[in-house]
Amino acid sequence: MRSLVGIFFLSISSLALPSVGFADCTIDSNGPADAPEIRLSQLGLQIGAPSKAVFSSPTQTPTDWSLYNSERELVASGSTFVFGESVASGGHVHQIDLPNNLPAGENFTIESCDAQSRPFSISERPYSKLAEDSLSYFFQNRSGIDISERYVPDRQFARAAGHPSERLTCFAGEDMRGTTWPGCDHVLDVTGGWYDAGDFGKYAVNGGISTWMLLNAYERLEALQMTEAWSDNRVPMPENDNGLSEILDEARWQVEFLLSLQIPQGVYMSVPIGAQAESEGGPLDLTETDVSGMAHHKVHAAKWPGLPLLPSDADQTRYLYPPSTAATLNVSAVAAQCARIWREIDPVFANRCLVAAVSKYNAAQRNPDIFARRNFDGGGPYNDLDLSDEFGWAATELYATTGQTDYITSLTKTPGAYWLARNGDSSLGDISWNSVDQLPVATMLTASQYVSDNDRARAATILVEIADRYLDDAAQDGYSLPYPPTGYGWGSNGAVASRAVALGYAYDVTGDRKYREALISIMDYLTGRNPLDQSYVAGHGQRAVRKVHHRFWAEGANPDWPPAAPGALSGGPNAGYAPDEHQKAVLGDCAPMTCWADDYTAFALNEVAINWNAALFWLASYLDTTPPAQPNSTTTE
């Protein structure tokens, strides 16, 4: 990897700009009634980094814009770029390209067409607090520990420990499809971990990708010798003053839980083998199988808990749910990553992780097609029938940790062969809990001890090609968001934020500022540069989300309960799925970017989840620690 490009600040303290008038034009007053017509990030802008503002207007020709400081002095001016009709937003869009040589200050405003933006700031580190809050999100969703007032941004977020002692056995009985599960004879202590989303479930699959995202952010900083940016005591938590980054402290809380899901040796269980058709709707065929070393898929109660509800008041009986190959590979991959990162920090813990990583990988090879299903009430299924990417991910993490090339070469004898084929032509899918295609490629760049120069070069090429696909999407979008204009489904904000990984590494290895500018576009969109004038990040922005679908951040259900904690990311616009009549009524007839409401009942729009927040942390931390490119750095017009 190349070193990061340097930061550049241009002083413009003595600008002498002419007064600019507005061409005749009108602005569409879409979105909330009190929203300013000109939209931009509600976090503010970063010195040295170009950004955009956007508005909708039927005017077909460019119109003038002006930027004023708090003293009403003209700082910059220009003409809009007429993008035209925007499929995602449903408007005719004008873009304002703001220069990267603006001075620091408060209460800047942009004016065009007799309309004005919100006041905004320009500073060196507008993403710092958001990065910290998005990591604190995980502490505040810990299971098994008191969330003490001293570690939260406000006393309303403090609470007693939920599920402080979880020694559980397996679910036994009939599921929603009529399958009868015999249960198991073992009991596991699965105390700890993170609550997955708006409920109290704990899952190996979503937990795996979320933990990897935090650890990869740290491992990237370590590879670039920048870990001082995330040294001890930056974010309040009980592990402060232990000399370690809070990223590692928080990730370890979940790693310990993932390791606890391992099934003891010599255990046989009745499990479904192979791709049995869910469309048939009947019971599954179960086969008694040696599941030694596999990981249980999830932990939750047999019924969904109501809300509002504190986890300390959740008294339903909870269970281990059947093992799956996907869960086993997720734990193997993260455990291998753990072994690499903690090798010098805590050799005993690192060895424990490595032993678990190897045993689980072997167990997955022995049982490659035990799939999770939509069988159980009370928790999400996280069902995935294509595990080729998970095999590729776990094998690559083990190779990067041990240097044993057999892990890669043996993929040709597993479903991982299909991942190798996709990897070969750079057609890897986006990052999500059921698509981990890109994770092993990113690992090739950060875990350099055993990875060859050729492997790293190939990984860099792949990620740059993926990032270029994302830039193509940005060129088709009126808000310059690197996301398909018609791609808004459940968790769209998490999907958008996850694209930061390829874009960030593309900037690292090329120094081309277009990739970092695409990251800024993602952040700007999430924090207000959108047709709803909405910051989807709680506590950040003048119109920040509050009433998320969450059991104890439940202001929407009861105003006496707290809103979403600062740094929590809403799932975002969802034009693809409305699971009940209420949410269909909330949505109505909407353009994809506008299919959203700050409504706690609309869980398909406004839930929070660890994988979405992990991607937000990766993005915010990247922008906070990685300076803007200098003006003479590479760019592509």
- pTM, to two decimals: 0.94
Overall average pLDDT of the 428-449 stretch: 95
Contact 159, 149 (CB under 8 A): no
pLDDT tens, residue by residue, 247-285 = 999 999 999 999 999 999 999 999 999 988 765 578 999
462: exposed, middle or buried (Cβ count in 10 Å: 0-12, 13-18, 19+): buried
Dist CA 337 CA 540 (whole Å): 32
Which residues are catalytic, by number? 199, 549, 598, 607
Dist CA 252 CA 239 (whole Å): 11
- CB count within 10 Å of CB 14 equals 5
**Using N-to-C axis directions, what is the helix angle for 347-366 and 246-260, rounded to 10°?**
40
Q: Enter the tokens of residue 241.
A: 């003053």
Q: pLDDT value at position 636?
A: 42
Distance of CA 116 to the CA centre of its chain: 32
pLDDT tens, residue by residue, 139-191 = 999 999 999 999 999 999 999 999 999 999 999 999 999 999 999 999 999 99
Contact 324, 371 (CB under 8 A): yes
Write down the H helix ranges in 285-414. 325-341, 347-366, 388-402, 406-409
Dist CA 328 CA 263 (whole Å): 10
* Placement of tokens 């040589």 in the chain: 101
Give the domains, in start order, of the chain with CATH numbers.
161-451 (1.50.10.10)
Q: pLDDT value at position 15?
A: 32
Closest to 326 in 3D by CA, of 259, 373, 280: 373
Q: What is the DSSP-derived secondary structure letter of residue 274?
A: S
Q: Looking at the predicted structure, is the pLDDT value of residue 515 above 80?
A: yes
- CB count within 10 Å of CB 161 equals 16
Q: pLDDT value at position 11?
A: 26
Q: pLDDT value at position 330?
A: 98
Overall average pLDDT of the 496-512 stretch: 98
Closest to 378 in 3D by CA, of 253, 262, 551, 205: 551
Q: Which residues contact 225 (CB under 8 A, 6 or more apart)?
A: none
Contact 391, 326 (CB under 8 A): no
More confident position, 8 or 189: 189
Lowest mean pLDDT among 233-242, 265-274, 448-457, 543-552: 448-457
Q: pLDDT value at position 586?
A: 67
Amino acid at 287: T
The beta-carbon contacts of 347-352 under 8 Å, at least 24 apart in sequence, are 349/252, 352/259
Q: Looking at the predicted structure, is the pLDDT value of residue 21 above 50?
A: no
Lowest mean pLDDT among 8-12, 533-537, 540-544: 8-12
Amino acid at 6: G
Dist CA 233 CA 388 (whole Å): 39
Q: Looking at the predicted structure, is the pLDDT value of residue 482 above 60?
A: yes
Dist CA 44 CA 528 (whole Å): 10
Chain-wide mean pLDDT for the chain? 92
